[in-house]
Structure 1
Amino acid sequence: MREALFVKQNSARWKRYENEPTKDPDELAERFIAIADDLAYAKTFYPQSKTTGYLNTLASGFHQSIYRNKKEKTDRFVTYWKYELPMLFATYRRQLLYAFVFFVTFAFVGAMSAKYDQSFLRFFFGDDYINMTNANIAKGDPFGVYKQTGELKMFYHIAANNLYVTVLHYLAGVITTIGPLCLLFKNGVMVGAFEYFFFSKGLGINSILVIWIHGTLEISSIIIAGAAGLVFGNSILFPKTYTRMASFKKGATDGMKIIIGILPIIVVAAFLEGFITRHTEMPVWLSVSILAVSAIFIIWYVIIYPLILSRKLTPEPTHASQS
């Protein structure tokens, strides 16, 4: 976009921000994010222009207004969770969709592989795990594996492993889109085969009510992490109007912000797996309630709220008058 057109489309909004200051924290944060995005664009395409200098001054003013009471960390934390992360979800909703579709497809492949190849489950999970689970099923406690370790120890090991797996999905983007897709393939096939195993034993509904107490947040986090990896990987392959280096930096930064945002979700999922999932005798209504709350949170915060926020913060396009 030519600089003149960029200025024409946005100057009215900039002047309104400059001439009509606000003390409302939410409005101030919205303006700051919008100006920061404009400044990032200007720095990329017009680094030496007066427009970039003007936007830098305007952004600095907003920054000082937001942080003037020495609440930098608190304000930044709130802004990140309330605006920045949801806006990243809105910006990269296609990558989120692709990651979800790929994961579901790979899960189907895993389920079909387990169905038509009797050795697949033992190849994928190992004889020890399959034999142990079969023994637990025979004893009437098919999900006894979640009770074999103490709550705190189990929570710690699961959280550490899942945090590692999540970050790995992002870092795999450094070898382009292929990296995250390979990891999504591995985890998708595992989930599909795992679920087929219990359905084949007549325990499908039970597995959903027990395993997905933590699995809803855990698997959602893996899919989001895969999307972060796609953001990173795509930035290398498809720089669009950016230089390849600028695209690489932007993809790496945005992907990392997404990963940081879902780390608490992974910890909560590990807490549920370590402390809650083991209670396989809990009432169905309680299990369904936990599943529903987890699913509603993911759908709202990752899909619905970002779309609402995006429409609210995105300015209406300016059209030149026709003569």
Structure 2
Amino acid sequence: MREIYFIKQNKEKWLEIEQVIKGNIKKNPDDLSTLYINLINDLSFAQTYYPKSNTTVYLNHLSSHIFQKVYKTKRVERNKIFYFFGTEVPLLVYQYKRYLMYSFIFFILFTSIGVVSAIYDKEFAIIILGDEYVNTTIENIKKGNAVGIYQSGSTWGSTIGIIFNNVVVGAKMYLYGFFGGVGSLYALLSNSVMIGSFQYFFYDYGALQDSARGIWLHGVFEIFAMVVEAMCGLILGASILFPKTYSRFNSLKIGLKDSFKIFLSTIPFTICAGIIEGYVTRHALQMPLFLNIIIIFGSFGIIGFYYCIYPKIIYKQTTQIYTQNKLSDDGIL
């Protein structure tokens, strides 16, 4: 079937689903399930015959939102926080997974710019990091304590200050998405270039391994969360620039609500990063190397699984559950 006929054949049904998502049309749980199953069938057909079409993207968007409508109608007692972090956020991350990919691509690109700039301009690290920080760190490296900068101040005081600062930075990176996503990219650029030049600075002074043992203890959670926050900004910006079939205002409402939920999911990781930086990083070089490795790769495994693997698992599970339930309700199973 040609795509134009496929669209004409199902256009009215899809427009009705849009109205259901907006709340303009009320449906009972059975009718919602029927709409969802029909839409999944249309999506499967489109993915098979028009895999790179905007129609497929549109149907995937609709199916994600109608699924949430269906899921919320289930009369099941559940812990709201567990549902939020265990189901709602992963489904949203899966829905907007391409924005996470874009954010990672930009992060790698911008970090590379920081590295290359530091290679060709020895003063670049000073410009980015500041004279005092660079000079203090050079002295610490000469003393054999590359992460000495993290040992100043009290543990609890440093932790509170770090958490507050990181939450503010993350919130700015997200909210700058109101400027069409460009603001979020600029914030990501600033932080990524700093990371790239920062790491090359230690490499240039022969202290890359020692710095990695300390910095990446908290850096995994902090930087991965930063990438996700930039993703949220891109979602917000895209909802303004590309409203699709929605009005620009309704598109913004949907984008703001969805992106804010994903942003909230980064807060626990930001808090964990602050606690690790305040209490653990200062002891990084006194710790056994295997313990550094366990914390670093364990942190990467946790946050990487949550944002990159778990969403796909939840999406498949919930889709399968509702398909089975619908077949059962229809007497097929």
The TM-score range, normalised by the shorter chain, is 0.7 to 0.9
Identity %: 34
Quote the residue 1:54 is aligned against.
28
Quote the residue 1:2 is aligned against.
11
Instruction: State the Cα distance separating 1:54 from its structure 2 match.
Output: 3.1
Matched position secondary structure for 1:141: coil
Change (3 A) 1:145 1:62: closer
Tell me the amino acid that sits aligned with residue 212 of structure 1.
W
Quote the residue 2:201 is aligned against.
197
Quote the residue 1:247 is aligned against.
251
Quote the residue 2:141 is aligned against.
137
Equivalent pair of 1:162/1:266 in contact (CA under 8 Å): yes
Matched position secondary structure for 2:28: helix
State how far apart, in whole Å, the 2-side matches of 1:140 and 1:204 are: 12
Quote the residue 1:308 is aligned against.
313
Determine which of 66, 88, 96 is the counterpart of 2:76: 66
Tell me the amino acid that sits aligned with residue 162 of structure 1.
N
State how far apart, in whole Å, the 2-side matches of 1:117 and 1:42 are: 57
Change (3 A) 1:261 1:61: closer
Quote the residue 2:183 is aligned against.
179
Change (3 A) 1:129 1:4: closer
Matches for 1:284-323 after TM superposition, within 5 Å: 284-314=289-319
Determine which of 42, 62, 75 is the counterpart of 2:20: 42
Matches for 1:151-230 after TM superposition, within 5 Å: 151-230=155-234
Change (3 A) 1:114 1:5: closer
Gaps of 5+ in 2: 1-9, 33-68, 324-333
Quote the residue 1:267 is aligned against.
271
Gaps of 5+ in 1: 8-37, 68-73, 317-323
Change (3 A) 1:155 1:261: same
Instruction: State the Cα distance separating 1:292 from its structure 2 match.
Output: 1.2
Quote the residue 1:80 is aligned against.
84
Quote the residue 1:34 is aligned against.
none
Matched position secondary structure for 2:244: coil
Quote the residue 2:100 is aligned against.
96
Instruction: State the Cα distance separating 1:4 from its structure 2 match.
Output: 3.7
Equivalent pair of 1:66/1:75 in contact (CA under 8 Å): no
CA RMSD of aligned residues (A): 2.4
Equivalent pair of 2:221/2:300 in contact (CA under 8 Å): yes
Equivalent pair of 1:154/1:274 in contact (CA under 8 Å): yes
Change (3 A) 1:6 1:240: closer
Q: Deviations over 1:106-134 (max 9, x none)?
A: 01100111110122111111111111111
**TM-score (normalizing by structure 2):** 0.77
Equivalent pair of 2:147/2:210 in contact (CA under 8 Å): no
Tell me the amino acid that sits aligned with residue 300 of structure 1.
F
State how far apart, in whole Å, the 1-side matches of 2:19 and 2:305 are: 29
Quote the residue 1:114 is aligned against.
118
Tell me the amino acid that sits aligned with residue 65 of structure 1.
R
Q: Deviations over 1:165-184 (max 9, x none)?
A: 11111110111110110001
Equivalent pair of 1:228/1:255 in contact (CA under 8 Å): yes
Tell me the amino acid that sits aligned with residue 292 of structure 1.
F
Instruction: State the Cα distance separating 1:2 from its structure 2 match.
Output: 3.2
